[in-house]
Chain A
Amino acid sequence: MIKLKDVSFTYQGSDGNNLYDINLHIKKGECVLISGKSGCGKTTILRLINGLIPNFYMGKLSGSIMACNMDISVSPSYKIAEKIGMVYQNPRSQFFNIDTDSEIAFGIENLSYPRNELLRRVDKTIKDIGLQNIMGRGIFELSGGEKQKVAFGSIYAMEPEIYLLDEPSANLDTKCTEQLRQRLKLLKKQGKTIVITEHRLYYLQDIVDRVVYMNKGKIENCFTSKEFFSQSEEKRKRLGLRGFDFSLIDIQNNLLSKETIFELQNISTGYGKKVVIQDMTIGASQGEIIGITGHNGAGKSTLAETICGLRKPISGQLMWKGKPISEKQLLKLSYMVMQDVDYQLFADSVENECTYGMDNVEIEKVLNTLKTLNLLEFREKHPGTLSGGQKQRLAVAVSMICQKKILIFDEPTSGLDLEGMIKVTDLLKKLAEMGKVIFVITHDYEFITEVCTRVVRIDEGTLSFDLPLNINNKNEIARHFICNSLESEA
């Protein structure tokens, strides 16, 4: 079905080769996982298969790529689109329309099928993917999981032979990831060929047939699914891969520290009259790392905005060091590291970013902070040219120079490999040692167990539980991340 022969590729403007001597043969109906660390060339392989390379992303290509009996590098993009569909990592960026119906029909409309056929396919897609509830809605009111569904549906309607999925679970909670798994099963049943790149591996165990492990632009190893998932923990970590199986994760007993310094008392908040967060009381002390979890759309971001002082509570009291404070005062104390860090970087160099909007910042302090966060060598560079992790650290550097006391991280590990996750973990622990109060919004169970001292779960705007992370609570917390998949299995 797919045959890559001696393929090497270099992106335009890139120094070394991005892919070397790739030889890969994928049979019809096979499901192949491409794994490896960030930047190993996983996404580049997907782009080769669907012809975006070399037609869209320019560069130097050698070798031959055949898929569905087409020579990909010379076939027109719309011919390839009929046979090969790709679901992108961030569904938001692939939407061409503002309502769900149009988005699902977008691909097949491009291929100029007659209207009857369009209707048949859209209906089939709605039924197979389970989109009944979100038809006719605006794209912008959908939650992350729903967006992913629509993005998938838009490709499904095109009925391609080959599905390419680029980190499909990066922005999904446990429940939505499970739904994704069901969709992949459906494709397998239909005999479709699937190629997935992914960092989170646990949900793919019984889906994939073969695993390709890449390192620095080369295929280093090919495993059968069984070989791959039965590797020892030690070997997995050496390969830089995220956990396969959550039941193995050992929750460390992190000690709770002293007294409460920051508190939300009976806070309700929302948009206008619509209450999103209801009567919530959460306290936090210095050095704590509190994980905030909940389904996509449960109200986590609204809570985060309240903690930051960006949103005025409808009722309730914000407390700092035992005294009530206004949200404006809170805004001076707290800082959020956004999921899209790009929005909060304004300056033209890393160093200037650190002093942006502030007067009288000592240069020494800036340099020290950059050094602590391993950013010193990039001080002249434009923030836009940094990697995702570096941008995150730069935002943290800014918060440190502003002397912020409360830090909130929004999905800091989305799309990160093991190494990236460990870096974030270390960073958070370091910040906790400095006495910051830290909140982390995340779906990432592996990450929670590595770093959090407490887990707060929100369900439909109310506090579902607030538990310290220790052996006694392990099962209660884990239940929300793992058992979901078991339940729907039954």
Chain B
Amino acid sequence: MKSMLKIGAKNKGLLHLDPRTMLLLLVMGNLAVFIMPSVKGEILLTVMILILGLLCGVYGFSFKLALIYFAFLGIDYICMTVFNSHLSNYIALFVRFIRKVLPCGMLGGILIGTTRVNEFMAALSRMNIPKSVLIPLTVMLRYFPAIGEDTKKIKNAMKMRNVTPGFLGFIKNPARTIECIYVPIMMSASRRADELSAASVSRGIENPLKRTSIQEIRFRTVDAICVLAALLYLIFIWRI
């Protein structure tokens, strides 16, 4: 039977990895950054992740982060060689601090950009993550867009009352601005928590059996290849 569901990747990349593979790559990426022997090794890592990102179809984000990475590398170089003053050294140091985060940030972005919430949950559930973490995590991911919606409405309401939201309003009247932002957002959060939990209880979320998922998750050959490549890379930089 051919399903009408458009199951699968969010993006139309050449590759689609199992979320578990992506998580494993993240661990390995963190490890690599931790034991990184040289800038060259770091550049190699960034390029590898960039290629992965492009294969997975996360074009814009991967390019942007890679660009920032190399820009930082450039700033670092210029600061250390051309200027070499205390200030420039400090800037170089800061830039380096941020730069270290970028390769894994890119990996994280690829994970988020290619994985659908349902798929991610299925993967975590397969990894035996307990429900007491799984349910809040799902709810959190679902609630992010709602926060955006709420904030927009609250901002509009504030404008109509001539209470300016944002930085300027905060300077003018901090107490009022804090109240205007926190109170409606937290009130709405409390209400939604009640409604949402009622709706999920009446759809069987308390079932003690393990959830099944319409989203098929499976290790494929590409997953093995990616993990293998990452492993070889780790051994390579370890040996240097």
Q: Bound complex: CA of A92 vs CA of B52, how far in Å?
A: 36
Q: Bound complex: CA of A99 vs CA of B204, how far in Å?
A: 19
Question: Does A58 sit within 8 A of B, measured CB to CB?
Answer: no
**Contact for A346 among B184, B200, B209, CB less than 8 A:** B184
Q: Bound complex: CA of A204 vs CA of B199, how far in Å?
A: 25
> B214 near A122 (CB under 8 angstroms)?
yes
Which residue of B is nearest A404, CB measured? Answer: B160
> A99 near B214 (CB under 8 angstroms)?
no
- From A73-81, A173-181, A233-241, A367-375, the one touching the partner chain is A73-81
Contacts A82-B204, A110-B204, A132-B4 given: A402-B161 contact, CB under 8 Å?
Answer: yes
Contacts A119-B214, A140-B145, A343-B154 given: A96-B200 contact, CB under 8 Å?
Answer: yes
Interface digits, B201-223 against A, CB 8 Å rule (1 contact, 0 not)? 11111111111111110000000
Interface residue ranges of B68-124 to A (CB < 8 Å): 116-118
Contacts A107-B203, A358-B162 given: A112-B212 contact, CB under 8 Å?
Answer: yes
Chain B, interface size category, equals 35 or more
Contacts A98-B142, A107-B203, A336-B160 given: A123-B180 contact, CB under 8 Å?
Answer: no
Contacts A106-B203, A310-B159 given: A101-B192 contact, CB under 8 Å?
Answer: no
Question: Does A264 sit within 8 A of B, measured CB to CB?
Answer: no
| Residues from chain A with Cβ under 8 Å of B40 in the complex | none
> B192 near A110 (CB under 8 angstroms)?
no
Which residue of B is nearest A93, CB measured? Answer: B195
Q: Bound complex: CA of A80 vs CA of B198, how far in Å?
A: 13
Which residue of A is nearest B173, CB measured? Answer: A357
> A357 near B199 (CB under 8 angstroms)?
no
Most chain A beta-carbon neighbours within 10 Å: one of B3, B187, B195, B206: B206
**Contact for B204 among A52, A111, A338, A402, CB less than 8 A:** A111
Question: Does A90 sit within 8 A of B, measured CB to CB?
Answer: yes
Interface residue ranges of A81-121 to B (CB < 8 Å): 81-82, 84-86, 88, 90, 93-99, 101-102, 105-107, 109-115, 118-120
Which residue of A is nearest B160, CB measured? Answer: A335
> B153 near A357 (CB under 8 angstroms)?
no
**Contact for A115 among B157, B184, B214, CB less than 8 A:** B214
| Residues from chain A with Cβ under 8 Å of B205 in the complex | 78, 110
Which residue of A is nearest B151, CB measured? Answer: A343
> A357 near B176 (CB under 8 angstroms)?
yes
Give the shortest distance, in Å, between B122 (CB) and chain A (any CB). 9
**Contact for A357 among B3, B145, B162, B187, CB less than 8 A:** B162
Most chain A beta-carbon neighbours within 10 Å: one of B188, B203, B211: B203
> B203 near A76 (CB under 8 angstroms)?
no
Q: Bound complex: CA of A304 vs CA of B181, how far in Å?
A: 23
Which residue of A is nearest B215, CB measured? Answer: A102
**Contact for B149 among A132, A136, A140, A346, CB less than 8 A:** A140
Which residue of A is nearest B8, CB measured? Answer: A136
Q: Bound complex: CA of A111 vs CA of B118, how far in Å?
A: 15
Question: Does A305 sit within 8 A of B, measured CB to CB?
Answer: yes
Most chain A beta-carbon neighbours within 10 Å: one of B146, B161, B192, B215: B161
3 tightest CB-CB pairs across the interface, nearest first? A81-B204, A94-B199, A93-B195
Residues of B within 8 A of A (CB): 1, 3-7, 116-118, 138-139, 141-142, 145-146, 149-150, 153-154, 156-163, 176, 179-180, 183-184, 187-188, 191-192, 195-216
Besides A90-B195, A102-B116, A115-B216, 6 more A-B contacts (Cβ < 8 Å) are A57-B198, A110-B205, A112-B207, A115-B212, A332-B162, A343-B184
